[in-house]
């Protein structure tokens, strides 16, 4: 029983962390119409940033700043935001798919950097040695995990409320206006590229927060945590929940993460040994099929928002 | 020097793949993340057809010395090109056209993102995660020069030659046939092309066939140069995108040049960077182009 | 307000009835537009900026979705056909802007346009060049390098390539020098004399009315007035209301 509950706590923690990243993506895609093909890079920048800033000195690696946890977490977000700013500033004025390609490229480059630069973040073996905050008070057991879940949930709610207010604010209306009719917005004296950049950087910082939480939850991060499939998973969560819909995004996260862990468990349990090697391939096909299938048959998601924001009209 | 030669050889299949991608990106107006998977489709289809031909006509399985290539594989390449062209149309009918009809261009990017994952892993499930070769025989490299030492495998020379032949053929089609004019017309101004009697649907299908055929050839050439592995698409997406961006989206000749630039730069980078960083090199090229010349070498600005 | 009944034309090539069309659903730009073009005549459509003149022509060419009404060509209904089918029906369209393929050479532009005319293209190319001798020395140049007037000639040559029954021309004189304008309009006149039916949109009201047979005035997407071109040119009220200051030029 306690085993099940502690598993549920674990599941809920990871799902909530991912939900934060999905909310960040929703600001970019759902509200602004920006395709981020490298979510994992911004998630990873947050994760690595947080651990590097918060960890004690490690031999042969950057680090030893030992910043307090909230500062380290913020630093991770700043790292993600800076990365987003650099990519966005270069691409957001150009044809829309440049951003998709550049973000995809950032993720590839980021993973290759983290895998190889031992001096920076330990290379393939990753960064370990982060002291979990408040560990002295809460210990290492179930209580700690429960408290951490509470902390993550608080942040999830905070991000949710922040985004809901943002979307309802004049800035949010501006985002939609630009997505619907860029020329009209420009003729009103708005600068679409700038507004998009703000939305892109904000969304990426939120992904960075998710990455920072993820890294501190495990007190460890390595290149294995920033594989490209994470980008696909987060996208699937968003499209299932319904782009533009924050509550749907959270539900989509729970659903997809549940399906992912559930299918992984079922395959490892029931599939013949020879097929075990292909668990990943089967799951990847499922994630890809979810994305394509949703686009074809239910582009508004399983939980359509009440206030429907139409996808922007076709250009040309 | 060796790196330069290797870079040119790498460039030959990246260019072929980039031509198809740049056409699709220009005429269908979306960044197709599943384009590199067409290389895998072509490469594995050729593997299957090669085995089939060799089984039916054993004579065809003898090597055409000094190449490791057989007549069977040569025929398989041709059939695989047709097969992959048909596959590309089929995927368009099943997925992209339906998204195009109801959604916007970004939904197409998204759909191709998902399709890439599906295609890549279906190939892994069908053919196994391990790597495979067209021929088990070890191909010996020929020494082109001793000082500096330059080694080239006969197969690589074949790859370069065949890629250049395909590019020349495409060039002739685009500049000598009314079909080629129609394709270029659609790329420049689809509405005007229609007014001039061009059937847009057919041209889109033709674009996919060309893209699929060239991708198949590129995939086989990659397989001949290295090995077949289901994740080859994943490793090729970025270099091929980089080639289109360097050349300028929509420019066939830009894609050719971009492909060679990416191939050469990736191989020269090995001189200064540890090989672990090579996946990042195309991204650095993209960055450089975006900073210096956002529309690429031959591209035009277009929203 | 003066109106004129339709001249009793027995030989109508093109006719629109109740044409309602627009770029996005439920937002018609044209409402209930009715026009006719008679065989071998020049019919001109004029009106203020944004009146929907280009939209009318595009709707006839199949480039703008028609939500109500009909377009008939020689008695056959062709409403809502795809633009390439329209072309196959013998409708040629010379757009207001971007009416040639800049990246193709002049020869390639012409050969592309001749493609739908079927076999025997080389003889037809020679015939086209006879008609537009100015293009002959530049066949190998990229069309983007042509001057404005030459571009219009090329665009019209492409439109004529397949012996159309009807040519739709959208402001062929836009951006041209007075001399090139005169040349282009004279060419239109010459074509009409050869039996080609022309539906012409023009800003250059005086010149257009000078060569046209019949004229429609469009404003806010609706028919306003129509009548023989000469009569409109001389009508003081029409001049006052629709031709504005240009009335003075026509005197
Ligand atoms: N591609 C388009 N999408 C949406 N609306 C359009 C488009 N093109 C034109 N419009 C609108 O349709 C209306 C009529 O435009 P149209 O181009 O037909 O006018 P016009 O009479 O040809 O004007 P002009 O004399 O300036 O050429 C205008 O209000 C214009 O804003
Ligand atoms: Mg107009």
Mean pLDDT for the stretch of residues A223-249: 89
Q: Specify the residue with its C-alpha closest to ligand 1, atom 22.
A: C54
Does the pLDDT at position B195 exceed 80? Answer: yes
Q: Specify the residue with its C-alpha closest to ligand 1, atom 24.
A: C49
Band (C242; pLDDT cuts 50, 70, 90): low
Residue B262 lies in a domain: no
Domain residues for the domain of B212 are: 2-229
Least confident of B43-52, B74-83, B96-105, C207-216: B96-105
Mean pLDDT for the stretch of residues B273-282: 88
Q: Which residue has the higher pLDDT, A237 or C231?
A: A237
| Cα of C62 to nearest chain B Cα, Å | 9
Asked whether the beta carbons of residue C104 and residue B188 sit closer than 8 angstroms, the reply is: yes
Mean pLDDT for the stretch of residues B28-52: 94
Q: How far apart are CA B128 and CA C79, in angstroms?
A: 54
**What's the burial of B108, exposed, middle or buried (CB within 10 Å: 0-12/13-18/19+)?**
buried
Centroid of ligand 2 to alpha carbon of B30 (angstroms): 30
| Cα of B23 to nearest chain A Cα, Å | 14
* B chain contacts of residue C108, beta-carbon cutoff 8 Å: 175, 181, 184
> How does pLDDT run across A252-302, given as a tens digit for each residue?
999 999 999 998 888 888 888 877 888 889 999 999 999 999 999 888 888
pLDDT at C44: 93
Mean pLDDT for the stretch of residues C227-245: 68
Residue B275 lies in a domain: no
Put simply, whether C216 touches B (Cβ < 8 Å) is: no
Does the pLDDT at position C246 exceed 70? Answer: no
pLDDT at C7: 44
* A chain contacts of residue B127, beta-carbon cutoff 8 Å: none
Mean pLDDT for the stretch of residues B268-279: 87
**Closest partner CB to A235 (pick from B98, B113, B237):** B113
Global pTM value: 0.89
- Per DSSP, what are the bridge partners of residue C17? C70
Does the pLDDT at position C213 exceed 80? Answer: yes
- Provide DSSP, B42-71: HHHHHHHHHHHHHHH-GGGGSB-TTSS-BH
Asked whether the beta carbons of residue A95 and residue B302 sit closer than 8 angstroms, the reply is: yes
Give just the sign of the alpha carbon dihedral B89, B94, B97, B99: negative
Mean pLDDT for the stretch of residues A174-186: 78
Centroid of ligand 2 to alpha carbon of A316 (angstroms): 17
Contact call for residues C79 and C247 (beta carbons, < 8 A):
no
Q: Which ligand is nearest to the CA of C29?
A: 1
Q: How far apart are CA B61 and CA B53, in angstroms?
A: 8
| Contacts for C88 with CB less than 8 Å, ≥ 6 apart | B197, C116
Q: How far apart are CA A80 and CA A68, in angstroms?
A: 19
ipTM summary value = 0.91
| Contacts for B294 with CB less than 8 Å, ≥ 6 apart | A93, A94, A98
Q: Is B248 left (phi over 0), alpha (psi -120 to 50) or beta?
A: left
pLDDT at A67: 78
Q: Quick one: which atom of ligand 1 is closest to the CA of C171?
A: 27
* B chain contacts of residue A277, beta-carbon cutoff 8 Å: 129
pLDDT at C237: 65
> How does pLDDT run across B221-241, given as a tens digit for each residue?
999 888 899 999 999 999 999
Q: How far apart are CA A234 and CA B219, in angstroms?
A: 30
Asked whether the beta carbons of residue A108 and residue B25 sit closer than 8 angstroms, the reply is: no
Q: Which of C53, C94, C199 best tests ligand 1's pocket when mutated (most atoms within 8 Å of CB)?
A: C53
> How does pLDDT run across C98-116, given as a tens digit for each residue?
999 999 999 999 999 998 7
Asked whether the beta carbons of residue B125 and residue A278 sit closer than 8 angstroms, the reply is: yes
Does the pLDDT at position A183 exceed 90? Answer: no
Asked whether the beta carbons of residue B107 and residue A299 sit closer than 8 angstroms, the reply is: yes
Does the pLDDT at position B248 exceed 60? Answer: yes
pLDDT at C243: 56
**Closest partner CB to B192 (pick from C82, C99, C162):** C99
Tell me the H-state helices in A31-169: 39-54, 69-91, 96-116, 118-121, 135-138, 142-168
Cis amide bond preceding B66, omega within 30 = yes
> How does pLDDT run across A113-141, given as a tens digit for each residue?
988 887 777 777 778 767 677 777 777 77
pLDDT at C6: 46
* B chain contacts of residue C157, beta-carbon cutoff 8 Å: none
Least confident of A37-46, A181-190, B9-18: A181-190
* Exposure b/e, C84-121, CB count within 10 A at least 16 = b: bebbebbbbbbbbeebbbebbbbbbbbbbbbbbbeeeb
Does the pLDDT at position C191 exceed 80? Answer: yes
> How does pLDDT run across C158-168, given as a tens digit for each residue?
998 888 889 99
Provide the 10 A C-beta neighbour count for residue C220. 13
Centroid of ligand 2 to alpha carbon of C31 (angstroms): 16
**Closest partner CB to A105 (pick from B120, B190, B238):** B238
**Closest partner CB to B109 (pick from A35, A288, A290):** A35
- Contact residues, C window 100-159, toward B, CB-based 8 Å cutoff: 100-104, 108-109, 111-116, 121, 158
Mean pLDDT for the stretch of residues B77-105: 91
pLDDT at B61: 76
**In whole angstroms, what separates CA B36 from the centre of its chain?**
7
**Which chains contact B through at least 3 pairs of Cβ atoms less than 8 Å apart?**
A, C
Q: How far apart are CA A237 and CA A254, in angstroms?
A: 8
Does the pLDDT at position A143 exceed 90? Answer: no
Asked whether the beta carbons of residue A108 and residue B280 sit closer than 8 angstroms, the reply is: yes
Mean pLDDT for the stretch of residues B134-154: 76
Least confident of A184-188, B51-55, C157-161: A184-188
Q: CA angle, C232 as apex, C227 and C234 as ends, to 5°?
A: 145
What total number of domains does chain B contain?
1
Q: Which residue has the higher pLDDT, C242 or A244?
A: A244
Does the pLDDT at position B169 exceed 60? Answer: yes
Strands B149-152 and C12-21: unpaired
| Residue ranges covered by each domain of chain A | 2-226
Does the pLDDT at position C124 exceed 90? Answer: no
Put simply, whether B199 touches A (Cβ < 8 Å) is: no
* C chain contacts of residue B175, beta-carbon cutoff 8 Å: 108
pLDDT at A181: 75
Around ligand 1, the residues with Cβ closer than 6 Å are C 23, 29, 47, 49-55, 203
| Residue ranges covered by each domain of chain C | 9-242
Centroid of ligand 2 to alpha carbon of C36 (angstroms): 19
Does the pLDDT at position B155 exceed 60? Answer: yes
Contact call for residues B282 and B241 (beta carbons, < 8 A):
yes
Put simply, whether B300 touches C (Cβ < 8 Å) is: no
Q: Specify the residue with its C-alpha closest to ligand 1, atom 5.
A: C23
Provide φ and ψ at A227, rounded to 5°: -75, 155
**Which chains contact A through at least 3 pairs of Cβ atoms less than 8 Å apart?**
B
pLDDT at B63: 78
Q: Which of C22, C46, C51, C221 best tests ligand 1's pocket when mutated (most atoms within 8 Å of CB)?
A: C51
Does the pLDDT at position C244 exceed 60? Answer: no
Give the range with max mean pLDDT: A201-205, B67-71, C138-142.
A201-205
Residue that is written with structure tokens 């509470």 in the block: A150
C9-242 is classed CATH 3.40.50.300: yes
Asked whether the beta carbons of residue A315 and residue B111 sit closer than 8 angstroms, the reply is: no
Q: Specify the residue with its C-alpha closest to ligand 1, atom 16.
A: C52
């Amino acid at each position: 029983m306690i085993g099940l509950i502690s598993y549920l706590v674990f599941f809920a923690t990871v799902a909530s962390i991912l939900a934060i990243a999905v909310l960040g993506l929703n600001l970019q895609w759902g509200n602004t119409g920006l395709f981020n093909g490298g979510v994992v890079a911004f998630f990873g920048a947050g994760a690595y940033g947080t651990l590097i800033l918060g960890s004690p000195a490690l031999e042969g690696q950057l680090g030893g700043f030992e910043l307090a946890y909230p500062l380290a977490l913020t630093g991770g977000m700043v790292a993600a935001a800076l990365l987003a700013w650099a990519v966005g500033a270069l691409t957001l004025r150009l044809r829309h798919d440049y951003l998709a390609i550049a973000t995809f490229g950032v993720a590839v480059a980021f993973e290759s950097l983290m895998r190889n630069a031992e001096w920076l973040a330990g290379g393939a073996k990753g960064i370990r040695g982060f002291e979990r905050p408040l560990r002295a008070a809460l210990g290492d057991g179930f209580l700690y995990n429960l408290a951490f879940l509470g902390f993550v949930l608080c942040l999830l709610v905070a991000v949710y409320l922040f985004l809901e207010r943002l979307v309802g604010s004049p800035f949010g209306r501006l985002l939609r206006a630009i997505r619907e009719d860029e020329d009209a917005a420009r003729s009103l004296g708005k600068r679409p590229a700038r507004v998009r950049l703000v939305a892109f950087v904000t969304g990426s910082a939120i992904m960075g927060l998710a990455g920072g939480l993820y890294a501190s939850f495990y007190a460890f991060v390595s290149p294995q945590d920033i594989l490209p499939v994470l980008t696909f998973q987060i996208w699937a969560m968003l499209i299932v929940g319904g782009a533009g819909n924050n509550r749907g995004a959270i539900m989509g996260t729970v659903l997809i993460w549940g399906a992912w862990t559930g299918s992984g468990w079922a395959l490892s349990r029931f599939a013949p040994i020879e097929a075990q090697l292909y668990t990943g391939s089967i799951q990847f096909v499922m994630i890809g099929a979810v994305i394509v299938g949703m686009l074809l048959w239910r582009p508004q998601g399983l939980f359509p928002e009440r206030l429907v924001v139409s996808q922007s009209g076709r250009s040309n | 020097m060796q790196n330069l030669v290797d870079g040119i050889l790498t460039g030959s299949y990246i260019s072929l793949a980039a031509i198809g991608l740049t056409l699709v990106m220009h005429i269908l107006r979306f960044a197709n993340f599943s384009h590199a998977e067409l290389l895998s489709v072509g490469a594995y289809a050729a593997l299957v057809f090669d085995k089939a031909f060799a089984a039916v006509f054993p004579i065809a399985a003898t090597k055409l010395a000094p190449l490791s290539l057989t007549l069977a594989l040569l025929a398989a390449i041709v059939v695989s090109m047709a097969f992959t062209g048909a596959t590309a149309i089929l995927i368009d009918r099943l997925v992209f056209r339906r998204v195009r009809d109801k959604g916007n261009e970004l939904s197409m990017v998204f759909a191709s993102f998902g399709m890439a994952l599906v295609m890549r892993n279906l190939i892994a499930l069908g053919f196994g995660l391990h790597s495979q070769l067209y021929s088990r025989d070890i191909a010996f490299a020929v020494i082109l020069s001793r000082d500096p030492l330059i080694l080239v495998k006969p197969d690589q020379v074949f790859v370069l030659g065949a890629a250049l032949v395909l590019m020349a053929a495409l060039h002739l089609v685009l500049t000598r046939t009314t079909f080629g004019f129609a394709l270029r017309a659609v790329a420049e101004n689809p509405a005007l092309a229609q007014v001039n009697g061009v059937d847009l649907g057919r041209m889109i299908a033709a674009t996919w066939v060309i893209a699929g055929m060239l991708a198949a050839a590129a995939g086989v050439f990659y397989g001949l140069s290295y090995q077949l592995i289901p994740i080859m698409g994943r490793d090729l997406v970025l270099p091929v995108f980089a080639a289109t961006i360097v050349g300028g989206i929509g420019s066939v000749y830009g894609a050719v040049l971009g492909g060679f630039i990416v191939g050469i730069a990736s191989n020269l980078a090995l001189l200064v960077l540890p090989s672990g960083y090579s996946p990042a090199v195309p991204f650095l090229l993209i960055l450089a182009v975006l900073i210096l010349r956002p529309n690429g070498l031959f591209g035009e600005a277009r929203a | 307000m003066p109106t004129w009944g339709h001249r009793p034309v027995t030989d109508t090539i093109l006719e629109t009835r109740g044409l309602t069309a627009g770029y996005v659903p439920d937002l018609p730009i044209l409402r209930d537009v009715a026009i006719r073009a008679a065989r071998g005549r020049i019919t001109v459509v004029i009106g203020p900026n944004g009146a929907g003149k280009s939209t009318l022509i595009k709707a006839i060419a199949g480039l703008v979705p028609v939500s109500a009404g009909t377009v008939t060509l020689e008695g056959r209904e062709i409403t809502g056909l795809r633009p390439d089918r329209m072309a196959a029906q013998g409708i040629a369209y010379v757009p207001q802007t971007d009416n040639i393929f800049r990246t193709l050479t002049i020869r390639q532009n012409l050969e592309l346009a001749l493609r739908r005319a079927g076999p025997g293209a080389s003889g037809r190319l020679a015939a086209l060049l006879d008609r537009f001798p100015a293009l002959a020395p530049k066949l190998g140049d990229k069309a983007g390098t042509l001057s404005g007037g030459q571009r219009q000639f090329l665009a019209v040559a492409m439109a004529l390539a397949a012996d159309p029954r009807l040519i739709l021309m959208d402001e062929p004189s836009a951006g041209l020098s007075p001399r090139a304008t005169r040349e282009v309009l004279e060419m239109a006149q010459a074509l009409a004399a050869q039996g080609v039916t022309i539906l012409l949109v023009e800003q250059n009201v005086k010149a257009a009315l000078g060569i046209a047979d019949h004229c429609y005035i469009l404003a806010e997407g609706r028919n306003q007035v129509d009548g023989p071109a000469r009569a409109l040119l001389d009508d003081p009220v029409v001049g006052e209301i629709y031709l504005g200051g240009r009335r003075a030029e026509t005197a």
